[in-house]
Amino acid sequence: MLSLNLSTLIAILSTLMAVVSLIFSWKAVKAAERSNFAGVYTELYKIYLEPKTLEAIKKIWEMYSAFEGHAVGQPITDQQAYELVTTLDRDSLEWHSIHLMSLFWRYVSILVKKNYLDREVAFEAFTSPRMLGFLAPIEYAFLRHHYSYTGKREDLPLHWLYNLWQKYRNKKS
């Protein structure tokens, strides 16, 4: 009888220790998630604050403002994107700015898709995703012109992010 009570007591204590361990493990996982988010955000923000990125942002806004509808994030037309892709010199500041900002937003797109970055941070912490109305059509035109891309535009990272931003923006309104 004594051994049964001792066995029961050991089982209860073991169960309690397992529950306490589970609670501490859960807290450690949450702390690690916060730390990972902070690390991702910090690295992304470092990229954003680099002088060449800030210069690229300024150049993109200058180019985009030449098109009607830019103020509301309306995308440039496929024809306008095609003309940019086929006429811009690959060594120009304009082309380098397009390339750099496309990479930045592709990175944001991947982080959002993988749930490493909240939509609120992606769409509120950096320059306006309205810029994607300029960059996404250029991405599509570039791939179609240079690589004979035949896939859906919605599958491309910048278009996916642009569409997500549109939904986010409409939901906030």
Are 12 and 85 a contacting pair, CB within 8 Å?
Answer: no
pLDDT attached to residue 83: 94
Dihedral of alpha carbons 96, 159, 156, 68, sign: negative
Chain centroid offset of residue 105 CA: 6
Q: Where are the domains of the chain?
A: 1-35, 50-172
pLDDT attached to residue 3: 58
Task: Tell me which DSSP letter residue 73 carries.
Answer: T
Q: How many helices and strands, by DSSP H and E, does the chain display?
A: 7, 0
**Cα–Cα dist 108/114, whole Å:** 10
pLDDT attached to residue 74: 84
- The answer to whether the predicted template modeling score (pTM) of the entire model surpasses 0.85 is no
Q: Write out the chain's pLDDT in tens, 173 residues.
A: 455 687 787 888 888 888 888 888 888 777 777 777 777 788 888 989 999 999 999 999 999 999 887 777 789 999 999 999 999 999 999 999 999 999 999 999 999 998 888 899 899 998 889 999 999 999 999 998 888 888 888 889 999 999 999 999 988 87
